[in-house]
Amino acid sequence: MKSTLEIGIIQQSKTGDIADNRRRLAEAVGQLAANGAKLIVNQELHDTLYFCQTESVECFDLAVGINQENEVCHFYSDLAKRHGIVLVVSLFERRAPGLCHNTAIVFDTDGYEAGRYRKMHIPDDPAYYEKFYFTPGDLGFRPIDTSIGRLGILVCWDQWFPEAARLMALAGAELLIYPTAIGWESTDTPDEQERQRQAWMTVQRGHAVANGLPVVTVNRVGHEADPSAATGGIQFWGSSFIAGPQGELLFEAPTDQECTQIISVDMHRSEQVRRWWPFLRDRRIDAYDGLLRRYIATE
């Protein structure tokens, strides 16, 4: 990987107009690439509204097959090739009838798919009914090799699990990347809202520290109504950010505005940080058998 990597992030609000969502995303990609971005990361499920606020079989019509000939994949592979960038996209993958995944795909500078990651941890909470739509991933925690380096792609709910970040790091990831869709429920108090947002940032910055790797997180922003009217909808909190290998914030986007930004990341810094703090060296892999159990009761 080059010593310095120019990373572009796209934090946007979304509407029910899929074509317009893609058009605006393509414009942002073009602007970032023209200004020197080599890697561009998008938010989770960026083509559509966050449909998981309700359980509706009609929403499965939004899923797309993922292959190089598919119209949607061709759209994004062409973007990557035309601008000579590595592009991370997030799609609702239709694998077979009734079998769908929340899938991140990486297109390399030649437009070909470098690899994909299927979201492993699937939430099922009020307004986040993802288990209704997504089958847990079956590709494991494998980094994706690209022309700019080895990318550890994870997705949203994966953010809360240190095991996922660690396994990506142990497999040689040089960067941890999280496309995300997370926000506040309208009945939460302002204090509770801020605690949630800070916890979300803190745990991911902790992954950066624990693994000595930069972390790139791209979230959506803006309010999306609950189609069932059971809740007040979700106010997505934006706050897309990049942290360095000691958890230091290199950039943080606003909570209430769209944002496209290029951040220059020193990719050689991880080598030095891991020499200072050799956490991988000092792991007691002989004593971690309990991690493979659901719960260890106190006796």
The two beta strands, 175-179 and 215-218, are: parallel
Catalytic residue among 156, 174, 185, 259: 156
Catalytic residue among 52, 100, 119, 224: 119
Count Cβ atoms within 10 A of the Cβ of residue 156 and give its class: 0-12 exposed, 13-18 middle, 19 or more buried: buried
Catalytic residue among 6, 44, 93, 185: 44
Instruction: Report whether 92 contacts 100 (CB < 8 A).
Output: yes
Establish whether 44 is a catalytic residue: yes
d(CA 245, CA 272): 10
Which residue blocks in the chain are alpha helix, DSSP H? Answer: 18-34, 71-83, 162-170, 190-211, 269-276
In the chain, % helix, strand, coil (3-state, to 5) comes to 30, 30, 40
d(CA 10, CA 179): 10
Which residue blocks in 180-295 are alpha helix, DSSP H? Answer: 190-211, 269-276
d(CA 86, CA 106): 7
Residues with catalytic function = 44, 119, 156
